[in-house]
Structure 1
């Protein structure tokens, strides 16, 4: 099981890289918008295509790279109130059922979003901003990558639940310790 622990630690680094990409994107978006507002108010002009660049490049870069980290942190609701009222055996069975359903749905999302990204690549999908066409299709690949990382996180949660008697919806417990490995 030591190999699974090492794989999860590498996976955690990938998730943290995604958080950094999202954080840097938030800062770039903040400075970009602030600069645009300053230029608009002081010089009566604006960054040409600024809205489209923020909308099509920076906003997806804020959301998708950090999605797996947010999912694994436990801040998203996961039926905790209902789970606490169930017995250990029923709780474990419900968690297995939920994980299998999530894995199935995530696999479908990854498959269809990958097909969408490949279609965008074939068509060289772009958007107009300030009279220039900017490529949009590279950002389409962030969607299947983000959901594939959530799929991998669920695999680690499934492995943890197979190894440990106490069922959980997280790989890492609330104290920050890795459980089940």
Structure 2
């Protein structure tokens, strides 16, 4: 199980990179919006195509790179209240069933979003902003990458539940390992 934790720590760094990308996109989006409002208020002009650029570039960068980190942090609702009412064996069976179902649904999302991204790439999908066409298709690849990372997170959770006695919906390290690192 120690080898799984080492690999998971490396994967955790990838998730942190994603959350930093999302945070930077929020900051850039905020600065663009503030700049646009100031320009409209003070100088009666605005960023040409600013709304479209924020909508098509910044919004996907805010949501998708950090999705795996948010999923792994435990802020998304799970079946905690229901699971606490059952014994450990039933909890483990329910968790394994839930993970299998999630993996199936997420694999479908990755498959179809990858096909959509490849179609966008082959057609060179773009959007008009201020009289110029900006490529949109590269951002289509954020979707299968984000959901692929959630699949990897679920595989780690599945491995943890298969190897350890105590069932869990999250991939959190045992406390003694964390204390040893400190």
Using the size of structure 1 for normalisation, the TM-score is 0.95
Q: Deviations over 1:20-76 (max 9, x none)?
A: 000000000000000000000000011110000000000000000000000000000
In structure 2, C-alpha distance between the alignment counterparts of 1:175 and 1:58, rounded to whole Å: 38
In structure 1, C-alpha distance between the alignment counterparts of 2:90 and 2:119, rounded to whole Å: 43
Counterpart position of 1:46: 46
Greater CA drift, 3-12 or 67-76: 3-12
In structure 2, C-alpha distance between the alignment counterparts of 1:115 and 1:12, rounded to whole Å: 27
> RMSD over aligned Cα, in angstroms?
1.5
Query: What's the CA shift for 1:177?
Result: 6.0
Counterpart position of 1:150: 150
The residue matched to 2:60 in structure 1 has which SS? helix
Counterpart position of 2:131: 131
Query: What's the CA shift for 1:3?
Result: 3.0
In structure 2, C-alpha distance between the alignment counterparts of 1:100 and 1:46, rounded to whole Å: 49
Counterpart position of 1:99: 99
In structure 1, C-alpha distance between the alignment counterparts of 2:156 and 2:111, rounded to whole Å: 20
| TM-aligned CA distance change 1:7 to 1:174, over 3 Å | closer
Counterpart position of 2:23: 23
In structure 1, C-alpha distance between the alignment counterparts of 2:94 and 2:59, rounded to whole Å: 35
Counterpart position of 1:56: 56
In structure 1, C-alpha distance between the alignment counterparts of 2:174 and 2:164, rounded to whole Å: 16
| TM-aligned CA distance change 1:174 to 1:36, over 3 Å | farther
Length, aligned pairs only: 178
Counterpart position of 2:68: 68
| TM-aligned CA distance change 1:176 to 1:22, over 3 Å | farther
Query: What's the CA shift for 1:2?
Result: 3.5
In structure 2, C-alpha distance between the alignment counterparts of 1:11 and 1:176, rounded to whole Å: 21
Greater CA drift, 83-92 or 58-67: 83-92
List runs of 5+ in structure 1 lacking aligned partners: none
| TM-aligned CA distance change 1:5 to 1:174, over 3 Å | closer
Query: What's the CA shift for 1:7?
Result: 1.4
